Amino acid sequence: MESWKEEGYSGSSAYLYIDRMIKSKEPTLDIVCPFISPYYARMLMRQSSRKRIRVITSNSKITEQAAKMMEQGGVDPGYIKLIIYAAILLAIFVVLDLYFIYVAMIPVVMVLVAIPIFRMGRKKRIQVKVAQQRFIHEKLYISSNYAITGSANLTYGGTHKNVEHISVVKDREEISKLNRHFEELWKSPES
């Protein structure tokens, strides 16, 4: 996909637009979205070492885990389980005195432990605001040069499976209005 020739899109591939924005080299990204899955939380966390990201979301079960991950800048719980399983295997090999396998696994476990430590060392520039007073149903994605509005939640289903409609906004004046709207929501004590 080289460039957007249309201002709107309807279909089940909203990720072609939204993922592209998240992964772009734009220095900032502001998001308003009620539902954010751990899949997208990980994507945002990866990008937060390259750009400043602010997220306004609503308090929901699907977003709870994602919001905690982003706020803590922590490691994916599935990855921690992988490290625990590797350590258990290593311990079993030591107990069974399988020296060859034990020695071979030491570098693997060291790499598994080093990756999250390295990732935590990189500065994360992500802020998450979870609205407690009211449900924010809006979906808005704003970068420096364009914005996306529409119906797509920041979940795998919302961007890859559901039929959604989004609009790509390139007009500078309209982007400025959307930025002001985001700032009002960000500063609002109700959100």
- For residue 150, being part of any structural domain is answered with yes
**Separation between Cα atoms, residue 131 and residue 138, nearest integer Å:** 12
Please indicate, yes or no, whether residues 144 and 161 belong to a single structural domain of this protein. yes
HSE, CB side, 13 Å, CA atoms: give it for residue 2. 1
What's the CA angle centered on 84, arms 36 and 43, to 5 degrees? 25
What pLDDT, in 10s, does the model give residues 119-163? 554 556 788 888 888 888 999 999 999 999 999 999 999 999 999
Same domain flag for 68 and 139: yes
Is 67 found in the same domain as 145?
A: yes
**pLDDT tens, residue by residue, 56-86:** 998 776 666 677 667 665 545 555 666 676 6
Residues 32 and 103 in one domain: no
Q: Find the mean pLDDT for residues 111-123.
A: 58
The tally of domains found in the chain comes to 2
Q: Is the pLDDT of residue 3 over 60?
A: no
Q: What is the pTM of this model?
A: 0.70
- Helical H segments across the chain, by residue range: 15-23, 38-47, 61-72, 77-95, 99-121, 156, 172-187
Per cent of the chain over pLDDT 70 is 67
Give me the pLDDT at residue 92, please.
72
Residues 83 and 108 in one domain: yes
Distance CA 169, CA 131 (A): 25
- Is the pLDDT reported for residue 184 higher than 70? yes
- Asked whether residue 1 is assigned to any structural domain, the reply reads no
Query: Chain-wide mean pLDDT for the chain?
Result: 80
State which residues form the domain around 23.
Answer: 8-72+126-187
Token pair of 179 as six digits: 């930025």
% of the chain beyond a pLDDT of 90: 42
